A and B are shown apart, each in its own frame.
Chain A
Amino acid sequence: MTPRINDVWVYLSTTPLLGLTLTLLAYQAAYWVYRRAGFNPLLNPVLIAVAMLVAALHFTDTPYATYFDGAQFVHFLLGPATVALAVPLYLQFGRLKALALPLMAALLAGSVTAIVSAVGIAWLLGASTSTLLSLAPKSVTTPIAMGIAEKLGGIPSLTAVLVMFTGVSGAVMAKYVLDALRISDHGVRGFAAGLSAHGIGTARAFQVSEQAGAFAGLGMGLNGLVTALLVPLLLLVWRWVS
């Protein structure tokens, strides 16, 4: 009466248990590799875990929707995690307040740079208009970025891919970029990482220190706001000039 492996698979693939467990296992395996490698940024745990899971879904021919039935429990925690950012912001508020002016200046400069350089480089390389519009909000957190792209006539699902690229590449590059520029202050490093690489940059910053994480969370939030205002404005200027 032993059930055949196929029957077990059919049963498991209909419960959320498999997707949830696989997500946790893949992440912990990825994190183990990351830690063993001395937290080498090139072995970013999000990148490795996603790669393992995409390969697993591909080889077992599992649709994403089936996987997400389980993984949604992890995904759901993004909401409470966002609320939890209030705690480090509260703890770092003294320093954040003292640095209000440098933070605002960095925010504006970084936000404009992110939008103009993304669109400009892709335009020089011959990307289509809908790709350019989808690229403009790529440095901000997914729901805001998709909303901006949709309003402008970009492709929201393409924007979601670009936001993910941005976050992972930002988390991988942050140490090298900021070391090369000799930025040692954790507040500055965190703010730059969160501003340019949203939640995944912020997650990276929290691995370093609470202060870097708090500044990153602020950079992510403020850039979401500013980008939503700036992208339509810059588009108007662009259309007026050309």
Chain B
Amino acid sequence: MLGALTTLLVFQLIGEVIVQFGGWPIPGPVIGLLLLFFALTLRGALAEPLRDTANGILQHLSLLFVPAGVGVMVHFSRVSGEWLPILAATVASTALAMGVSALVMQWMMRGREAQGGPQGKGGEGT
């Protein structure tokens, strides 16, 4: 757990350093993600503690958005002037983007995984 958390922080640190040196407009943790992904692929194996720690953090990913969410709602007054078009556009467009991308992907997958069996199927969810 401690080793795994250190691994994540080290990759984030390398990512931040690369981004700062290169002046890239990409967040440092994203570079860290890519580097860890390549490291795992090269190694061809995933240590159990890293898997458990990663899953542990990602299971409660929602929690990590709470502080920023509070900050945003405290500044809610900025929206109130035009709240109707903003709220309508945001909600409708989010549903549309979700629906369109899901339908396109499903449509493109027809027949592609016919021999793949029931992998990833399931009624409840997301």
User: Which residues of the partner chain A approach B68 to less than 8 Å between Cβ atoms?
Assistant: 75, 142, 160, 164
Among A143, A166, A192, chain B packs the most CB atoms within 10 A around the CB of A192
C-alpha spacing A183/B126, complex, angstroms:
10
Contact with B along A60-101 (1 / 0, CB 8 A): 000010011001101101111111111111110101001101
B105 lies within 8 A of chain A by Cβ: yes
Known A23-B67, A81-B58, A184-B122; judge A87-B51 contact (CB<8 A). yes
B36 near A189: Cβ-Cβ < 8 Å: no
Query: A158–B79 contact, CB under 8 A?
Result: yes
**Which residues of chain A are within 8 angstroms of B122 by Cβ–Cβ distance?**
184, 186, 209
Q: Are B86 and A105 in contact (CB under 8 A)?
A: no
B15→A83 contact, CB < 8 A: yes
Contact of B126 among A139, A165, A175 (CB under 8 A): A175
Residue of B nearest to A71 (CB): B67
- What is the chain B residue whose CB lies nearest that of A144? B27
Task: Please name all residues of chain B whose beta carbon is closer than 8 Å to the beta carbon of A40 when the two chains form the complex.
Answer: none
Q: Which residues of B contact A131 (CB under 8 A)?
A: 82, 85-86
Q: Which of A212-228 contact B (CB under 8 A)?
A: 212-213, 216, 219, 221, 228
Known contacts being A125-B88, A135-B86, is A197 close to B96, with CB within 8 Å? no
Contact A106 B105 (CB under 8 A): yes
Question: Which of A57, A81, A93, A185 interacts with B64 by CB under 8 Å?
Answer: A81
Q: Which chain A positions have C-beta within 8 A of B33?
A: 82-83, 85-86, 89, 221
**Smallest CB–CB gap between A101 and chain B, Å?**
6
- Bitwise interface map of B from 10 to 28 toward A, beta carbon under 8 Å scored 1, else 0: 0110010000000001011
- Known contacts A46-B65, A50-B69, A131-B82, A221 near B55 by CB under 8 Å: no
Complex Cα distance A88/B99, Å?
A: 24
Expressed in whole angstroms, the Cα–Cα distance for A183 and B109 within the complex equals: 12
Contacts A68-B67, A117-B93: A193 and B61 contacting too (C-beta < 8 A)? no
A149 proximal to B (CB < 8 A): no
A207 at interface, CB cutoff 8 A: yes
Residue of A at shortest CB range from B102? A192
Cα distance A184–B78 in the bound complex, in angstroms: 39
Q: Nearest chain A CB to B4's CB is how many angstroms away? A: 9
The answer to whether B58 and A213 touch across the interface, beta carbons within 8 angstroms, is: yes
**B1 located at the interface, meaning its Cβ lies under 8 Å from any Cβ of chain A in the complex:** no
Contact residues in A for B53 (Cβ distance below 8 Å): 84
Q: Which of A87, A139, A144, A183 contacts B102 (CB 8 A)?
A: A183
Q: List 24 A-B contacts (CB under 8 A).
A: A64-B74, A82-B30, A85-B58, A86-B36, A86-B40, A87-B46, A91-B46, A99-B113, A119-B89, A121-B89, A128-B82, A138-B93, A161-B78, A167-B65, A169-B90, A173-B95, A178-B126, A184-B122, A185-B121, A192-B97, A195-B98, A200-B65, A207-B62, A208-B126
Residues of B within 8 A of A (CB): 5, 8-9, 11-12, 15, 25, 27-30, 32-34, 36-37, 40-41, 46, 50-51, 53-55, 57-76, 78-79, 82, 84-106, 108-109, 112-113, 119-126
